[in-house]
Amino acid sequence: MLGALGHDRARVTLIEVADAEARDALPTLTPLTETPLNLPEPEKRTRFNRVLARLAELGSPIGERVAMPLGAAYGAIQVDSDACTLCHACVSNCPTPALKSGGKTPALSFLEADCVQCGLCEQACPENAITLMPGFLASSARETRHICHEEAAFECINCGKPFATVSTVATIKQKLANHPYFAGEAMIRLEMCEDCRVKDVWKTMIRDPDAQLKV
Ligand code: SF4
Ligand code: SF4
């Protein structure tokens, strides 16, 4: 990592506990800076990310992804936009803040600095839309959250409330096309929000109390 950030790798060396000579030896390299880095953040990963960002400022990052030992907690993910339905199962399973939903806008965003390459998002994705990209990115891009995928919201055909994405509704309609509960005109309930769908079911039951028994 030091090399990828443009520093002499000899700045960090491991020494044996019993090696008093190495322990007491004077530094051979001049300090990078006289200004100490204040790290009040309680999270270890956040503190380490700040150290890496500072080393990047003081060095000359190569701007590329470099290989790390197998299982190292550095890397990105690739999201297949054509496959992603913005179900956010990956966000629910991500143990760090690396993956986030878009709030009011249907979107999925990613911050590489927080990704520990655990692979839980890849395993949770029902669409197989996620691929892990292991390696340390020696660039400020790892500190920038970016949008992996976003879509227009699908608005309830009854009340206009946005309740899902266009692709999610299309997928559900396709999967439930032959379900008896949504047969005939009832299929339009899949284009309604939860509240309007329940109201529509009740209206049908009032008109035809035996309707549900026929399903
Ligand atoms: S990447 Fe997969 S799990 Fe994440 S929102 Fe898209 S479809 Fe859902
Ligand atoms: S690999 Fe792990 S940490 Fe990285 S985005 Fe996926 S779930 Fe989050």
User: Are both 84 and 145 inside the same structural domain?
Assistant: yes
For ligand 1, say whether the CB of 108 is within 6 Å of any of its atoms.
Answer: yes
Q: In this structure, is residue 69 part of a structural domain?
A: no
Count structural domains, the chain: 2
User: Are both 139 and 86 inside the same structural domain?
Assistant: yes
Domain boundary among 150, 175, 190: 150
Write out the DSSP string of 126-154: TT--EEEEESEE-SGGGGS-EEEEE-PEE
Pocket lined around ligand 2, Cβ cut-off 6 Å:
77, 93-94, 96, 98-99, 115-121
Atom from ligand 1 closest to the CA of residue 87:
8
ipTM: 0.99
Domain boundary among 103, 133, 150: 150
Instruction: Say how far apart CA 78 and CA 36 lie, in whole Å.
Output: 36
Instruction: Say how far apart CA 34 and CA 23 lie, in whole Å.
Output: 22
User: Are both 81 and 143 inside the same structural domain?
Assistant: yes
Q: In this structure, is residue 56 part of a structural domain?
A: no
Q: In this structure, is residue 48 part of a structural domain?
A: no
Q: Which ligand places an atom closest to the C-alpha of 132?
A: 2
Atom from ligand 1 closest to the CA of residue 121:
3
Non-local (6+) Cβ contacts of 80 within 8 A are: 127, 128, 129, 130, 131
What is the per-residue pLDDT across 14-55, written as a single tens digit (0 to 9) for each? 999 999 999 999 888 999 999 999 999 999 999 999 999 999
Q: In this structure, is residue 60 part of a structural domain?
A: no
CA 34 / ligand 2 centre spacing (Å):
36
Atom from ligand 1 closest to the CA of residue 85:
7
Domain boundary among 150, 173, 203: 150
What is the per-residue pLDDT across 46-92, written as a single tens digit (0 to 9) for each? 999 999 999 999 999 999 999 999 999 999 999 999 999 898 999 99
**42-74: buried (b, 16+ CB within 10 Å) or exposed (e) per residue?**
eeebeeebbebbbbbeebebeeebeebeeeeeb
What is the average pLDDT across 159-187? 86
Region of 75 please: left (phi>0), alpha (psi -120 to 50) or beta: left
* Residue 157 DSSP symbol: T
Q: Which ligand places an atom closest to the C-alpha of 122?
A: 2
User: Are both 142 and 176 inside the same structural domain?
Assistant: no
Query: Band of the pLDDT at 211, cuts 50, 70, 90?
Result: low
Which range marks the domain in which residue 181 is found? Answer: 153-214
